Structure 1
Amino acid sequence: MKIKQISVFLENKSGRLARVTKVLGQHDINIRALSIADTTDFGILRLIVNSPDKAFQVLKEAGFTVSITEVLAVEVTDRPGGLAEALAVLQEAEINIEYLYAFVQKATNAALVVFRVEQLDKAIEVLQNHNISIVPEEKVYSL
């Protein structure tokens, strides 16, 4: 149920993001989802890829500062209030969300939301108990 997310520290300079994507492409690693948070001087690129362990290795070998973080992927109905239902469950269980990012899957009429939470195992249990779909890693990596 846990998904491996690649986090890459990037200097806020022209071409750094392009270099990451080029390295991944050269090694046949496909990006499934991404998010970037930046400041004036640097950014953190967060990636869900089809082969996270390989991505970690090739980016490290290319000189990037990279880490793997466990996150979870939740599927919510693509309609007003769909995300609110999952967030309410986490709030009720007093689980803090550090960050999230999402994308819509047109074919399934659902949105996939990637969560980084403080209590990952508890979040999985609580969401499952409320019949909220947690997407297994194999499915996420193959989207």
Structure 2
Amino acid sequence: MQIQQLSVFIENKPGRLAEITEVLAEAEVDIRAISVADTSDFGILRVIVDRPKEAVIALREHGMTVSLTNVLAVGISDERGAFSKVIRILANSGIDVEYIYAFVSRDKGKAYVIIRTDKSARAAEVLTQNGVEILTAEALYNM
């Protein structure tokens, strides 16, 4: 149930994001979700792709600093309050959310949230017990 997320160190300068996404495109890697957290000088690009190992190889071959992190991908109803319920389940279970980012799939009528927690195995367990859909890597990579 773990999804592999790429974390790429990115300098905050024009064209850098284009370079990274071009490397992924050249390696025939498709982006499924993306987020950037930045400061004035640098940022961390977080990316879910369909072929994480190939992406890491391609980025490193181009001199980029990249690591893989395990995260959860949670499918929730695309309606008001659904996300709040998921976060409350984690909070009530003593699980800290380190960061999140989301995307919506209109054809599936769901919102998908990428969640990094301090206890991902326990998070997957309590969310599943509470009827929350946890995506497999295969399901997410093939969207």
TM over 0.5: yes
Partner of 1:125: 125
SS at match of 1:63: coil
- 2-side partners of 1:51 and 1:99: how far apart? 22
Partner of 1:141: 141
List alignment gaps of at least 5 residues for structure 1.
none
Deviation at 1:135, TM superposition (A): 0.6
* Cα RMSD (Å): 0.5
Partner of 2:52: 52
SS at match of 1:131: coil
Task: Please report the TM-score for the alignment, with normalisation by the length of structure 1.
Answer: 0.99
Task: Please report the TM-score for the alignment, with normalisation by the length of structure 2.
Answer: 0.99
User: Partner letter of residue 76 of structure 2?
Assistant: V
List alignment gaps of at least 5 residues for structure 2.
none
Deviations 1:46-81 (A, max 9, x none): 000000010011101110000000000000000000
- 1-side partners of 2:27 and 2:58: how far apart? 8
- 1-side partners of 2:117 and 2:10: how far apart? 23
Partner of 1:26: 26
Deviation at 1:9, TM superposition (A): 0.2
SS at match of 2:37: strand
- 2-side partners of 1:139 and 1:128: how far apart? 16
Name the % identity.
Answer: 45
- 2-side partners of 1:132 and 1:27: how far apart? 34
- 2-side partners of 1:45 and 1:124: how far apart? 24
SS at match of 1:91: helix
Partner of 2:86: 86
Deviation at 1:119, TM superposition (A): 0.3
- 1-side partners of 2:30 and 2:138: how far apart? 14
Residues paired across the two proteins, number: 143
Deviation at 1:20, TM superposition (A): 0.3
- 1-side partners of 2:4 and 2:66: how far apart? 12
User: Partner letter of residue 13 of structure 1?
Assistant: K
User: Partner letter of residue 10 of structure 2?
Assistant: L
- 1-side partners of 2:81 and 2:34: how far apart? 23
Deviation at 1:131, TM superposition (A): 1.0
Partner of 2:4: 4
